[in-house]
Amino acid sequence: MAGTVRVRFAPSPTGALHIGGGHTALFNWLWARHNGGRFILRIEDTDRERSTKEYEETIMAGMEWLGLDWDEGPDRAGDFGPYRQSERLEIYHHWANRLLSEGSAYREGEAVIYRVPQGVSLAFDDVVYGHIEMMSDTLKDIVLIKSDGMPTYNYAVVVDDHTMAISHVIRGEDHISNTPKQLLLYRALQWEYPVFGHLPMILGKDKKKLSKRHGATSVYEYRDMGYMPDAMFNFLALLGWSAGEGNEVFSREEAAALFELSRVTKRSAIFDMEKLNHINQEHLKMLDPSTRLDLVEPFWREMGLPVDEHSREYLAQSLVVLGGRGQTAREAAGYSDYFVTFDAVKKRYDGSDIDEAQRATVRRYVRDLLACPEWKADLLEEFTRTWSTEQAVKMKEIAMPLRMALTGMKVSPGIFEVAEQIGREETKRRLAHYNLL
């Protein structure tokens, strides 16, 4: 057992998995995986009124979405269970009785309270925040068990971290102030302290504590907006840690290999949406076409596009043509709707910007273009260049109307690639609609 890294994520199931919770879970996961240790999920559900099974499930689903698999937990076998605090009441009572019988705790009605001794120096070396020390004199007596028989947070967390053989307690910096109380209880029970490492606070761009005002706060909302779990993982890992100069886009495995708890900074981390968007785009680009399609397709459906009229091959290839455009799957879906249906084009473009003189030129060009022997992007482009030189017509004058007719957008991937992808017949149909044939 000695030397085994055992870390835990200990959420209270009183809400969805928030950014802060996901961040804490992730750093624990990284440390476990870096060391070949164990990552434990413990549900801190002693607040019986606010804790629900549904929240427990959404937290687990959020962790799964992020790819943070745990080795022990309420739904996994393990030698240190149960992994829900509400199922560990006997254990808390056992140790509280021990403190009572030793005289270091007393009863007040049904409650059990620890009598804080005077003059004890409480010190620990936080892996992130450094040496922290205080005297016990400033602390009030600590409630261990409340009159309803439930343990308090500070007591249960000590009993659990010890009895679950937790080696490193990695959690948000908002718990630093609880740590001295917990140290006292470790001492009272004659248990060794684990290593503590508190994670920096996550702030919005305005340097205020991250909240609803800054946008989505639960991990799930990011999934629904079309962010990739790999990107979200990558982005959260960069809050307070760096994988090294210039190494901003990485996989879970790379992060786990490089992670060092001692390199976490105590400087508050800024939740920067632009950075998340950038990282998401980089991860989207790395996906193979079929996986990328799996991510984008639901958004096309949500937009009401007739996805089922096309083969998967066609749709996946359309996204290859789209290239790296779109920072999220939702954005990529919006930028590529014209591959799925001409209706989307018609809705945003009515062709009224083409004057008659231009129309005549475009028609001459289109007639020759549609007669090209082979419908291949590079050949179509070459043909167009030659045609524009020979006819002394600017490339832009013919390519822009073509782009507008095929996509309804001023900015798109190479228009000849779009033409090749939708095919000669569909190209013809769209041009005919705008009276360009």
Nearer to ligand GLU, 7 or 231 (CB): 7
Q: Name the one range near ligand GLU by CB under 6 A: 7-15, 95-103, 190-198, 295-303.
A: 7-15
Instruction: Compute the least distance from the CB of residue 154 to ligand GLU, in Å.
Output: 9
Asked whether 93 and 54 are in contact (CB, 8 A), the reply is no
Number of residues that bind ligand GLU (CB under 6 A): 7
Radius of gyration of the chain, Cα coordinates, nearest whole angstrom: 30
Asked whether 408 and 344 are in contact (CB, 8 A), the reply is yes
Please select the residue that binds ligand GLU; options are 6, 12, 30, 293, rule is CB under 6 A: 12
Please select the residue that binds ligand GLU; options are 16, 157, 201, 321, rule is CB under 6 A: 157
Instruction: Compute the least distance from the CB of residue 269 to ligand GLU, in Å.
Output: 18
Q: Name the one range near ligand GLU by CB under 6 A: 4-12, 53-61, 187-195, 427-435.
A: 4-12
Asked whether 161 and 167 are in contact (CB, 8 A), the reply is no
Q: Is 429 in the site for ligand GLU (CB under 6 A)?
A: no
Nearer to ligand GLU, 180 or 408 (CB): 180
Alpha helices in 67-165 (DSSP H): 89-101, 153-163
- Name the phi and psi angles at 93, rounded to 5: -70, -35
Q: Is 171 in the site for ligand GLU (CB under 6 A)?
A: yes
Q: Is 209 in the site for ligand GLU (CB under 6 A)?
A: no
Q: Where are the beta strands (DSSP E) in 147-249?
A: 168-172, 195-199, 202-203
Residues 173-202 that bind ligand GLU (CB under 6 A): 175
Instruction: Identify the three-state secondary structure at position 50.
Output: coil
Residues 50-109 that bind ligand GLU (CB under 6 A): none
Please select the residue that binds ligand GLU; options are 25, 44, 55, 196, rule is CB under 6 A: 44
Question: For 130-155, b where at least 16 C-beta lie within 10 A, e where not — what string?
Answer: eebebebeebeebbbbbeeebbbbbb
Q: Is 10 in the site for ligand GLU (CB under 6 A)?
A: yes
Task: Please pick, among 140, 205, 209, 212, the residue that the annotation labels catalytic.
Answer: 212
Query: Which of 47, 46, 76, 54 has its CA nearest to residue 160?
Result: 46
Q: Is 45 in the site for ligand GLU (CB under 6 A)?
A: no
416 membership: H or E segment, kind and range: helix 415-422
Residue 212 among the catalytic residues: yes
Instruction: Compute the least distance from the CB of residue 20 to ligand GLU, in Å.
Output: 9
Instruction: Compute the least distance from the CB of residue 44 to ligand GLU, in Å.
Output: 4
Q: Name the one range near ligand GLU by CB under 6 A: 5-13, 74-82, 222-230, 247-255.
A: 5-13
Using CA atoms, how far apart are residues 393 and 77, in angstroms rounded to an integer?
73
Instruction: Compute the least distance from the CB of residue 316 to ligand GLU, in Å.
Output: 42
Instruction: Compute the least distance from the CB of residue 70 to ligand GLU, in Å.
Output: 14
Helix/strand number for the chain, H first, E second: 19, 11
Using CA atoms, how far apart are residues 310 and 285, in angstroms rounded to an integer?
23
Asked whether 393 and 401 are in contact (CB, 8 A), the reply is no
| Residues that bind ligand GLU in the complex, under the rule CB under 6 A | 10-12, 44, 157, 171, 175
Q: Which residues are catalytic?
A: 212
